[in-house]
Structure 1
Amino acid sequence: MSTSRFSDCSSSLVSSSDEQNQEELQHLFGNLLSIPDASFASLASSICRRTDEGQGHGSARVISRLSGSYNLIRIVEFDDQEKYVVRLPATGWGERFTESARLAFESQVVTMYFLREHTKIPVPEVYAFDASRDNEIGAPYIVMSPIPGETVASKWFSGHESIPIEEFRWRILDSVAEAVSELQKFRFDEIGSLQINGETEITTSNLLDVSIGPCHSYDEGIFGQMDYRRKLEISPKNPLHSADKDAKILVDQLISCLPQSTRSDPSNTPSPQHAGEETFVLTLPDFGPQNIMIDNTGAVTGIIDWDNTTTVPRFLGFISYPSWIASDWDPARYTYPDDTKNENSPEELRGYRRFYHERLRKYCGSSYEVSRLAPRAHIYEAIVLAAGEYLSRLEILKMIVGQACQLTEDKALQLIQRVGETALSYGDFSKLEDRFRAFLWVPP
């Protein structure tokens, strides 16, 4: 049975004291769970004394224990009610703490410093970090400021009592678009993670001198090198599952139809000798409602969770839609109309996407990304999702094939099956690719 992404993400941070979650928590975090609260409090106090020139905020204690998919979190409060967030990566213990995991952790820190310095995006302030296990808690950590407010996940459907629900949602989307538009100022010549330029060790003096390094991530990402057409690989399912085999052929075909990142625009015109080279941009690594914090007016107060941030092709960059207004393009998880409490209708979602696109144009101007790529950004995201997640693959393909070829759902499935059975002639297969190219066509 499919589950709404809102019901999923509303519990993305759960109390570590929930007994029902203990087995799963042990699997994710291992001996990190055995670090005593006193050690977290001592760490926070030590950092507080260093950052506040020895003044401190009094004694400290852990007041909340949380966990997500990739991080263990402790909220530490001082006597004067000042709070610190201590965050430990799930990869920070045992054999999981590989060199790649360490570099991914460092890149997250570099990304947060970079964004705080060069953008107006409200990112948590990093007070201190250690990317090794050679410290007083025996684990890599980030100590950072808390972000006020509540998540979009908790307020999108409940709203605020003094503001009509639709107006509240418009305010959220407007504020999100304004924050994300800050990413348009950055252009990179390859895909990878932000890292310190030419340095082997992160220090406060070099944190803003960044370059692009390899894609270090906790999970093996689908983007690896500059030539993403060769690197956008499809994750396998059961090789005996014929429907997945059929789907794989079509996803390969769709990948070949994705737009390139070489098109120039007035704000980013390459020199003639570089006109054919690709340009890459930043985006939120997880554009979910659980990672956007808002106040009671709908204004964004913070964007959290910058794990696994990498540069990406422009069609997957800052123009991407927030996941909660593109949920209809993941039919395997989209629960409308069965769950109207946690899902918007397709008509509502199309309206929110139109509004969000208008807001991007307001804050970004008529750049190539916003004016040409953004209207189809949710489709590009769906293709990438189909490549990476077999549970979503077939349903997304039925939707794309149906719309590209103007077929019913049943007819679209039959066509997918015919492709897998090699029942299409070369000419018909070429015509299908032409339909895909027309469906994904980007105006000049």
Structure 2
Amino acid sequence: MTDVNESDENLELFTEVLSALDKAQLPILGRDVFQRVHPQHTTTDVEPEVGEPICGAYHVLFPLTFTTGLRWLVKIPANGAADKWDDLSASSLNTEAKTMQMLKCETTIPLPEVLDFSSTPENILRCPYILLSHISGVPLYDVWFGHRLKGHDPEVNRTRRTRALQGIASALLQLGLFSFQNSGSPIYGSGWSLLGTSPTRRVDEQATLNRWFVHQDPADDPLYVSQPPSSNTKAWYTFMLELYPEDNATQKGIVALLRQLISWVPEPDETDPFVLAHPDFDIQNFIVSEEGELLGIIDWDGVAAVPRSVGNKGYPGWLIRDWDPAMYGYEESMEQGVEPEGLWEDSPQTLAEYRQVYISAISQGRRNEGNVDCCRMSLITENLAIAAADPRCRGQIMYKVVREVWNRAGNNKEMDYTEIVRMFAENNIDSSTMSTLYVGFTTLLSEEGL
């Protein structure tokens, strides 16, 4: 189990929680749990050594290596200091741990074993934690870009990529076993029975931007908001938009246009409109072998029931980056092997090719969804969800989506995006424009080869 985002430079982001942590108790916790799980070993057999902390975006990991060779990880939230911890965070950690335990019992999804957890700072570590088994393997990023990072043969690398995508599709399809009438964090009864849902903790991107640029507060610790359960799939998409109404005319028009597109997103005709999904379906959360075999899916923090249109059958995040221009860092020079300043990226053509690989893998294992293909249309729906949740990405995603919508509508009139946004801002959209958008959008959602 590892994280491509881990960096010792991030340690300063965890100053407060690391100050609160009683690090001397880490080996004691590990030893006590080890003896409970493996009572045949004596104390001298199991004394663990604590490794250097590994920092992710929202948590820090402490490796515990036992004299037997076994390795575990203690995961501690970035806001785990007592004065930052609240009931919402405690509920989120509890859901994360119990969901992982449930999936370990009820599915064949490869993920770490939850050995112990505490959703309160009132324990020997003085911080909430989850104690996890370690998954041996390499980050998918290292295999996915093996032809760039290690000079692997491109055809061999293609085979490994395909194997990884097939394993991921097979694993995440199993989340479809867990469906809900309402969105939110699952609540478990005895025997892993699902009793319903509770509020979900979500990162509040707008609040973070306000802290930095309005209040001039440079703090980097995450800010969260509680999203209540809802039976309305569209309300799930637009929750963040409701929290921060726009006053600026242009932004108001973009948001109104975004709301309109979301209102046209079809959902499968299923008994339950919501389904369990991984909360951060991106490349850093997958561990594979050198040959691309899926070994583990990590980081289930924030796991919840979401609309099926953005649920467990959607594309992996790294396959849809080209539709999020604010975050997509591809340069043509990468094709010649020129190393980027940041992370490697695939070209739009390559991403489209692997989207077809993934949708083929999903198609082999899914039930018939009638006229609604959640995987195919997730290229659009997942990016609309990003646009609704993250104001940094909203403008560029919306311009790209509307441009593609307009091109597919069969309207010979050239798109005037500024005029479309103005009409939506003033709630004065003519019928021709609305019809063009609707026809183009429904065509785009069902189009093959994107």
Q: Same fold (TM over 0.5)?
A: yes
2:307 match: 313
Superimposed CA distance per residue, residues 24-80 of structure 1 (whole angstroms, 9 cap, x where no aligned partner): 222xxx143453442111111111111111625332111231121221210011112
- 1:147 and 2:135 aligned: yes
> Are residues 1:233 and 2:239 paired?
yes
Query: What secondary structure does 1:95 align onto?
Result: coil
Task: Find the aligned partners of 2:25 and 2:370 in 1 and give their Cα distance.
Answer: 47
Amino acid at match of 2:352: R
- Cα–Cα, structure 1 residues 280 and 421, in superposed 2: closer, same or farther, change >3 Å? closer
1:28-427 alignment runs, 5 A limit:
30-53=16-39, 55-56=41-42, 57-159=45-147, 161=152, 164-197=156-189, 206=190, 208-218=192-202, 219-220=224-225, 224-231=229-236, 232-235=238-241, 239=246, 241-261=248-268, 263-264=269-270, 270=271, 278-337=272-331, 340=334, 342-364=344-366, 366-368=367-369, 372-406=373-407, 411=415, 413-420=417-424, 422=426, 425-427=429-431
Counterpart secondary structure, 2:426? coil
Q: Distance in 1 between matches of 2:3 and 2:83?
A: 30
| Counterparts of 1:223 and 1:182, CA distance in 2 | 25
What TM-score comes out, normalization by structure 2 length? Answer: 0.82
1:108 counterpart letter in structure 2:
E
Superposition deviation, residue 131 in structure 1:
1.7
Deviations 1:348-379 (A, max 9, x none): 11110111000111122x42189722211111
Q: Which range moved further: 111-120 or 236-245?
A: 236-245
Q: Output the CA distance in 2 between the equivalents of 1:314 and 1:421.
A: 29
For these two proteins, the number of residue pairs brought into alignment is 405
Secondary structure class of the residue paired with 2:127? coil
Structure 1 residues 125-171: Cα deviation after superposition (integer angstroms, max 9, x where no partner) = 11111222222111211111001111112221125747722122111
Is the 2:118–2:128 contact (alpha carbons within 8 Å) kept by the matching residues of 1?
Answer: yes
With over 3 angstroms needed to count, the CA separation of the structure-2 counterparts of 1:183 and 1:72, relative to structure 1, is same
Pick which of 186-195 and 318-327 moved more: 186-195
Structure 2 CA distance for aligned equivalents of residues 31 and 90 of structure 1: 6
Q: Deviations over 1:283-329 (max 9, x none)?
A: 11101100000001100100000111111111111111111111111
Report how far residue 383 of structure 1 moved. 0.8
Q: Provide closer, same or farther for how the CA distance between residues 375 and 412 of structure 1 changes in structure 2, counting only shifts above 3 A.
A: farther
Matched residues in 1 for 2:303 and 2:177: separation?
16
Q: In structure 2, what is the Cα distance between the partners aligned to 1:412 and 1:40?
A: 60
Residue aligned with 1:120, SS: coil
Percent sequence identity is 24
Q: Does the Cα contact within 8 Å between 1:85 and 1:146 map onto a contact in 2?
A: yes
Higher alpha-carbon deviation: 345-354 or 159-168: 159-168
Deviation track 1:181-203 (CA, whole Å, cap 9, x = no partner) reads: 22222322221212222xxxxxx
Q: For structure 2, which runs of at least 5 residues remain unmatched after alignment?
A: 203-223
The CA distance in 1 between the partners of 2:18 and 2:95, in whole Å, is 21
Runs of 4+ with >6 A deviation:
none
Q: Work out whether residues 14 and 78 of structure 2, in 8 Å CA contact, stay in contact via their aligned partners in 1.
A: no
Which residue is 1:4 aligned to?
none
One-letter amino acid of the counterpart of residue 66, structure 2 = F
Q: Show the counterpart of 1:430.
A: 434
User: Are residues 222 and 141 of structure 1, via their aligned partners in 2, closer, same or farther at CA, if it must alter by over 3 Å?
Assistant: closer
SS in 2 for 1:64: coil
The alpha-carbon deviation at position 11 of structure 1 amounts to 4.7
- Cα 1:332–1:362 change in 2 (3 A) is same
